[in-house]
Amino acid sequence: MTPPPPIERAVIRGDALRGLQEWASEVEAWPVGSHVWGHYAERTPGGDAICRTENVSACHGGFLDLVRGPLAELAAGVVGEEAADFKDKLNYKRPGGAGFSPHQDLLAYPGVEQVVSLLVAIDECTTSSGCLWLAEGVRRLLPTDDRGVVRAEVAAGLGWQPAELSPGDAVVIDGLAPHYSEANRSTAPRRVFVASYAPARHGYGRNRYYAARHAEMQGPAGEPDRVRISALADFEGTEVGGGGPTAADGSTAEACTHPPHGAGPARPGVAVLGNFTGSA
């Protein structure tokens, strides 16, 4: 029998959860293409909608507190040693938003030797809203197609289990655990925040990852008309914008143009996410 996904319940709750939900809405409202690491939009039946923001913590102190604090402690407990963050992202998946094909993170993150990702639910994640599906127990890299996703005939033979989450729950994604998600068929958004970690002793950090990601994103996507919002061509939707901002001459700008949010503590009036044992 395939083991169930490794879920941690109520990792965030109370005021901290409400703060996280507010922060996600704040970042989602950034203009498309205003974030140098990527603030991507997709086409949905209800119109164009933001689908992903990369490296959120680089420009938002609240998310930085979350990544470097409680989630880092949880990641360290999973890997059994000090863990260093090298990536984070917000996935929004508005109603009608697309899913992602089966893939393994160890292949998706160029140059990493070991990785664990923590996916935190901001909204309800159900099978109808496009929750994550995982196949636990896989301990090797699986054959992939030219998009970098698990070959269809291989994926069909895996034992998939849904990771249905309530807001504030988290699911642990090992670097070798195949996972995918389907489109959001519900009437509510399915927002999640994902932070990825490697053992600190490996020295794999953000500068190294995002430089490798940039190089990978310049390569072919496997199919000429398939969009890329990640190093793998696993996104199943239609991207309509979201690369970094451009300068007046059309070149890529070196600074974000969205409204600022300092890299320090959260602004007054919003719960700081360092306290995850606040009022339930």
Could you say which DSSP state residue 65 is in? Answer: H
SS (H, E, C) 99-118: CEEEECHHHHCCCCCCCEEE
pLDDT for 254 equals: 73
Rounded to whole angstroms, how far apart are CA atoms 226 and 219?
A: 12
Q: How many domains does the chain have?
A: 1
Contact call for residues 174 and 97 (beta carbons, < 8 A):
no
> Does the CA dihedral 220-226-228-232 come out positive or negative?
negative
CATH number at residue 193: 2.60.120.620
* 21 assigned to some structural domain: yes
In a domain, 103, yes or no: yes
SS3 248: coil
pLDDT attached to residue 273: 33
Q: Is residue 267 part of a domain?
A: no
**Rounded distance between C-alpha atoms, residue 161 and residue 132, angstroms:** 9
Q: What domain range is 114 assigned to?
A: 7-239
The model's pTM is 0.89
Query: How many DSSP H helices and E strands does the chain contain?
Result: 6, 12
Q: What is the pLDDT of residue 250?
A: 47
Q: How far is CA 241 from CA 169, 181, 253, 272, in A?
A: 30, 21, 15, 32
Distance of CA 230 to CAs 87, 139, 197, 209, 240, Å? 12, 23, 17, 12, 15
Per-residue pLDDT for the chain (280 aa), expressed as one digit of tens each? 667 889 999 999 999 999 999 999 999 999 988 999 999 999 999 999 999 999 999 999 999 999 999 999 999 999 999 999 999 999 999 999 999 999 999 998 888 999 999 999 999 999 999 999 999 999 999 999 999 999 999 999 999 999 999 999 999 999 999 999 999 999 999 999 999 999 999 999 999 999 988 888 776 655 555 557 888 889 999 988 766 665 444 445 678 999 887 543 333 222 333 333 332 2
Spatial strand order in the sheet of 132-134: 100-103, 179-181, 132-134, 161-163
* The token pair that represents 3 in the structure block: 């083991």
Q: What is the pLDDT of residue 32?
A: 87
Residue 153 lies in a domain: yes
* Distance, CA of 172 to CA of 136 (rounded, Å): 11
Residue 70, pLDDT score? 95
Indicate whether 2 belongs to any domain: no
Q: Are 204 and 108 in contact (CB under 8 A)?
A: no
Give the distance from CA 38 to its chain's centroid: 12
- Do 99 and 236 meet the contact criterion of CB atoms below 8 Å apart? yes
Classify residue 272: in a domain, yes or no.
no
Look at residue 268 and tell me if it is in a domain.
no
Residue 159 lies in a domain: yes
- Sheet order of strands, 239-241 included: 7-8, 170-174, 116-121, 192-199, 83-91, 47-54, 39-44, 239-241
CA-atom Rg of the chain in angstroms:
18
Kind plus residue range of the DSSP H or E element containing 134:
strand 132-134
